[in-house]
Amino acid sequence: MTLIRRLWPTIWYYRGRVVLGVGLVLATKLATTGVPLLLKQLIDALDQKPTPLTVPVLLLCTYGALRLASSVFQELRGIVFARVLARTSREVALRVFAHVHMLSLRFHMDRRTGAVIRDLERGMSSVSELLDTALYTVVPTVIEIALVTAILVGRYDMSFAAITLGTLAAYLLFTVRMTEWRQRYYKAMNEADTEANASAVDSLLNYETVKYFNNEGFEARRFDQRLRNLEDTGVKSLKAASLLGIGQAAIIATGLTLLLWRATDGVVAGRMSLGDLVLVNAFLLQLAAPLSYLGMIYRETKQTLANLERMFALLDEPVEVRDRDNAPELAVSGGEVRFEQVSFNYGEREVLAAIDFVVPAGRTVAVVGSTGAGKSTLARLLYRSYDVAGGRITVDGQDLREVTQDSLRRQIGVVPQDTVLFNDSLYYNIAYGRPEASREEVFDAARAAHIHEFIETLPQGYDTNVGERGLKLSGGEKQRIAIARTLLKRPAILIFDEATSALDTHTEHGIQRELDQAAQGRTTLVIAHRLSTVVGADEILVLERGRIVERGSHASLLAASGRYAALWAMQQRGHDTAAPSRTDATAAPGESVPHTHPSSTVTTQDLS
């Protein structure tokens, strides 16, 4: 009922169809119940040795009409309610999908993609099953049992009703107890299925890593272990279901036999006619099917609820970053960014403490420091992936927590270190920066990122598919795609988060020129390991253990002979001794090249 209440707003939107569907169900059950009553009258009429002229033609016609009506009403109900089932399933799945995208980065860093997708798939299919079962199977079955019981009590002695109700009570009690016992096996089977699916997706997403370490056999064994768990729990669940079915059949058979015995005894004693015997037998057969079905429905409903609980658990995940009520949109005039005494924690661990700096409108500020110093956290706080624990961040004097997330993120463009592309065309991936952009605007963005000419040389041009996560492209090509779609977005504020650290030196220099051009006239925050990429910044901040330990221009920091100067000297020595490597410039169009990093190895070691 809790789940039905959550689904009810969507269902009630189609209340006309729901009411009509319920009316058709009632008509179906009335027609179905009327068939045995007519059959009794027909048998009693024929029992009087009728001549051809006295054959009850009207009864025969009515019997046929009721048989047809019960089937027609049932099918019409399916037609009327089909849209309700499909729309409810679609809207709930969409709500969960949208909610998962609204969840904070903290949730997505812990999630397993395969498990989330599997829960969503099972939950989506379970929504329509639950509604169809609740509204058009359970309720009609209860109505039918009530009608038959009332007719038996009204026409015959109380023993018929007592046997019917006793059989029903025993059946329901047995079904509930056994299903609850079986439910633990079904939940375990679901868990095993989710684990197997998550393992398969994770392995396929990391196909190259599997190949690099020659671990195909290991992955197969790991997946087989998940499948073995799924097999074992599935067998236990099926065995439990079979035991449940045997018990249900035994209870129904006992009840039907007792009712038929009472009817036969009544005919022999002269209290009941042959038609009465046929009527009771027909009712018994009519009740046997829904009773058997009711048990299966209860079992299936429990499984459906288990699936829905997992999907709604996703929907119940709290949204960590929320807009305040009636929050205004961000109004950007210049794009000045201020961090004012900002602090932030991951759980008990302090990541940032008393961070205070300004990125003037149209200027560039770079942040350097060792791994774990909190550099990327600055970018995530500015993008409001998290809210600050203390202090505040403002854009043109407006606290980020006071404006809508959507308006803030429209004004910020991010070029990350690891550019992940959609498994779609080059055009789609660039146009993703602003889906409503014209084709010419997409081309202009590609030209600005110096990727247009390369794309034009490909056989399929902009329609070339980039593969899973863009694996068909080299690192430099992917970064240029990232720059192009960021430029297409037309942001007032740019964040370069280690945008060139995964590239070799030659490619890095080419990409750096494009990044510098992209930053012209925009407020820019640069997060970097390689100090050579931030030489031209208006101000450089050196971050250590969540605190700013040095700040100034490249020249002033070198002159201060502090931490920055020491890091610069180390990186310069590493650069001078590094061996040259093959770069994107020598790759064939569309060919990925192995990227070696002559300076990044030294940089990572030095900074840590």
Residues 29 and 168 occupy one common structural domain: yes
Q: Residues 253-282: what's their mean pLDDT? A: 80
The model's confidence at residue 293, banded by pLDDT at 50, 70 and 90, is low
Of 120 and 108, more confident = 120
Helix or strand or coil: residue 425?
strand
Q: Is the pLDDT of residue 602 over 50?
A: no
Question: Per the structure, how many domains does the chain have?
Answer: 2
Q: Residues 40-52: what's their mean pLDDT? A: 65
Domain assignment present for residue 326? The answer is: no
Two structure tokens written together for 175: 């079904």
Q: Is the pLDDT of residue 598 over 60?
A: no
Please give the angle made by the CA atoms of 120, 121 and 125, to the nearest 5 degrees.
115
Residues 95 and 174 occupy one common structural domain: yes
The whole domain housing 18 covers 2-315
Q: Is the pLDDT of residue 2 over 90?
A: no
Which residue, of 315, 346, 376, is where some domain finishes?
Answer: 315
The model's confidence at residue 584, banded by pLDDT at 50, 70 and 90, is very low
Residues 224 and 346 occupy one common structural domain: no
Domain assignment present for residue 330? The answer is: no
Q: Residues 463-474: what's their mean pLDDT? A: 84
Residues 521 and 587 occupy one common structural domain: yes
Of 359 and 130, more confident = 359
Q: Residues 287-312: what's their mean pLDDT? A: 71
Residues 272 and 365 occupy one common structural domain: no
Q: Residues 513-527: what's their mean pLDDT? A: 84
Cβ–Cβ under 8 Å, residues 56 and 43: no
CA distances from 103 to 95, 99, 393, 469, 544 (A): 12, 6, 21, 22, 29
The model's confidence at residue 578, banded by pLDDT at 50, 70 and 90, is very low
Q: Residues 142-161: what's their mean pLDDT? A: 77
Give strand ranges (E) for 440-557.
493-497, 523-528, 539-544, 547-552
Residue with tokens 């205004």: 328
The model's confidence at residue 49, banded by pLDDT at 50, 70 and 90, is low
Which residue, of 280, 315, 350, is where some domain finishes?
Answer: 315
Those residues with Cβ within 8 angstroms of residue 242's Cβ, 6 or more apart along the chain or in another chain: none
Residues 302 and 384 occupy one common structural domain: no
For the stretch 379-428, pLDDT in tens is 989 988 888 989 999 999 999 999 998 899 899 998 887 788 888 899 99
The end-to-end CA distance of the chain, in Å, is 56
Q: Residues 512-529: what's their mean pLDDT? A: 84
Residues 310 and 351 occupy one common structural domain: no
As separate numbers, helices (DSSP H) first and strands (DSSP E) second, the chain gives 20, 10
Neighbour-count burial for 490-500, b at 16+ CB within 10 Å, e otherwise: ebbbbbbbbbb
Q: Residues 329-350: what's their mean pLDDT? A: 89
Residues 309 and 372 occupy one common structural domain: no
Residues 354 and 251 occupy one common structural domain: no
Q: Is the pLDDT of residue 16 over 70?
A: yes
Q: What is the pLDDT of residue 114?
A: 63
CATH of the domain at 236: 1.20.1560.10
Domain assignment present for residue 324? The answer is: no
Distance of alpha carbon 258 from alpha carbon 95, whole angstroms: 51
Q: What is the pLDDT of residue 317?
A: 78
User: Across all residues in the chain, what is the average pLDDT?
Assistant: 78
Compute CA 389 distance to the chain's CA centroid, rounded to the nearest angstrom. 29
Domain assignment present for residue 82? The answer is: yes
Q: Is the pLDDT of residue 567 over 90?
A: no
Q: Is the pLDDT of residue 42 over 80?
A: no
User: What element of type H or E holds 555?
Assistant: helix 554-560
For the stretch 204-219, pLDDT in tens is 777 667 766 777 888 8
Q: Residues 320-346: what's their mean pLDDT? A: 90
Dihedral sign of CA atoms 234, 235, 237, 241 in order:
positive
Domain assignment present for residue 350? The answer is: yes
Q: Is the pLDDT of residue 343 over 90?
A: yes
CATH of the domain at 535: 3.40.50.300
Q: What is the pLDDT of residue 575?
A: 58
Q: Is the pLDDT of residue 589 over 60?
A: no
Sheet containing strand 349-359, strands side by side: 349-359, 337-346, 390-395, 398-399
Residues 347 and 273 occupy one common structural domain: no
Give strand ranges (E) for 272-428.
337-346, 349-359, 364-369, 390-395, 398-399, 412-415
Lowest mean pLDDT among 14-18, 172-176, 250-254, 518-522: 14-18
Q: Is the pLDDT of residue 515 over 90?
A: no
Two structure tokens written together for 529: 């390991």
Q: Please give the DSSP secondary-structure letter assigned to residue 136.
A: I
Domain assignment present for residue 327? The answer is: no
Residues 247 and 384 occupy one common structural domain: no
Q: Is the pLDDT of residue 354 over 70?
A: yes
Lowest mean pLDDT among 55-59, 164-168, 343-347, 525-529: 55-59
Residues 410 and 298 occupy one common structural domain: no
Domain assignment present for residue 467? The answer is: yes
Please give the angle made by the CA atoms of 65, 69 and 75, to the nearest 5 degrees.
150
Give strand ranges (E) for 428-522.
493-497
